[in-house]
Amino acid sequence: MARVVVDVMLKPEILDPQGQAVQRALPRLGFAGIADVRQGKRFELELEGPVDDAALARIREAAETFLANTVIEDFTVRVEEDGK
Domain definitions of the chain by residue range: 2-80
Of 76, 82, 84, the C-alpha closest to 56 is: 76
So what's the pLDDT on residue 32? 95
Strands (E) across the chain are located at 2-10, 40-47, 73-80
Contact between residue 41 and residue 8 where contact means Cβ atoms under 8 Å apart: yes
Question: How many C-beta neighbours within 10 Å does residue 58 have?
Answer: 13
> Mean pLDDT, consecutive 10-residue segments, the chain of 84 residues?
95 97 97 96 94 96 98 97 63
Rounded to two decimals, the pTM is: 0.87
CA distance 43 to 46: 10
Kindly give, in sequence order, each residue whose CB lies less than 8 Å from that of residue 56, ignoring residues fewer than 6 positions away: 4, 77, 79
Name which CATH class applies to 2-80.
Answer: alpha beta
